[in-house]
Amino acid sequence: MADNNHSYFQHPYFVLTGIPGLEQKYYWMAFPLGTLCVIALFGNGVIISTIKSESSLCIPMYYFLCMLAWADMGLALCTLPSMLGIFWFNSKSIPFDACLVQMYFIHTFSAIESGVLVAMVFGRVVAIWNPLRYGTILTSGVVCRTGAVILTRAVCVVFPVPFLIKRLPFYCSNILSHSFCLHQDIMRLACASTQVNSLYGLIAVIFTKGSDSLSILLSYVFILRTVMAIASGEGQLKALNTCVSHICAVLIFYVPLIGVSVIHRFGKHLSPLTHALMANAYLLVPPVLNPIVYTVKTKEIQKKIIQIFVQTKITAEGWGLPV
């Protein structure tokens, strides 16, 4: 009888964890965390508005960059509220269903970002392999259809995950390892077999990030072979220089992802602090660093940021505020 009752029991909420061992410094840690939040939202917002307003940026490469910025903003908005709630207000509890919703959107936006990085490298392949046909191959219609495929794939692949979690009983611990909800973190608290969840999670990762990373690797092998066939050294450097921003974006996304995956699989002996820092880096680093990378490489975005700061200064002076 007791076992039967347990099988239908769910905790009404989960308890999120901040950074173990630094509980006394949570309030002060919220300020740099809030700064990262502002950088992520402001930087990606500027990228989106600049691409929308500058006619010179209305080309496929920047359309894909706009998609990447939307995905980064989605990741930031999914994770930062619960993190700031912990560090500023010591609000650690999150309702069971709200946790599943956060988990769904985190994994969906992560899958979208991975797909966009593949689309961007395809654009680089076309630009370097056949630059004269770049505009005819990557038309606005192709870009829109590509974006729709990326979004549909992410939504459909992640859609079953909350329902697979929902069917599991949770009558043991309800304390999560991170300050946000991830599938593998919730799954380990289940008091029943999670083989189905683990198998589907593996299939989903292989179908999205696994195939995406392989596609990116093969694309850069093709790009290198094409670049090496260019006669002049100056032409080779010019071609490779167009890929620098994308390579940085790939590293910014996949290095923390691989790190957190390896730690979850093989780092059970490591301290909880290491697990927490790697998980935070996995979700915070891309939204913060991607706008910085593309701002450095794009003069139009630099001009937009300078224009915003000048307008802010003029407005502050008009209100009599110190600047």
Give the chain's domains with CATH numbers: 13-299 (1.20.1070.10)
**pLDDT tens for each residue of 65-87:** 999 999 999 999 998 888 888 88
Nearest C-alpha neighbor of 72 from the set 133, 116, 129: 116
Say how far apart CA 165 and CA 194 lie, in whole Å. Answer: 9
Structure token pair of residue 207: 């179908």
DSSP letter, residue 188: T
17-30 pLDDT, tens digit per residue, is 877 777 777 777 77
Which residues have CB under 8 Å from 209's CB, separation 6+?
Answer: 110, 111, 114, 254, 257
Tell me the per-residue pLDDT of 203-257, one tens digit each, with 9 for 90 and over: 999 999 999 999 999 999 999 999 988 878 888 888 888 899 999 999 999 998 8
Q: Is the pLDDT of residue 169 over 90?
A: no
Tell me the whole-structure pTM to 2 decimals.
0.89
| Residue count of the chain | 323
Mean pLDDT of the chain: 85
Residue 318 has pLDDT above 70, yes or no: no
Q: Place 263 in a pLDDT band, splitting at 50, 70 and 90.
A: confident
Helix ranges restricted to H, 130-271? 134-137, 140-158, 160-166, 183-187, 195-205, 211-228, 233-241, 244-266
Report the range out of 92-106, 233-247, 305-319 with the highest average pLDDT.
Answer: 92-106
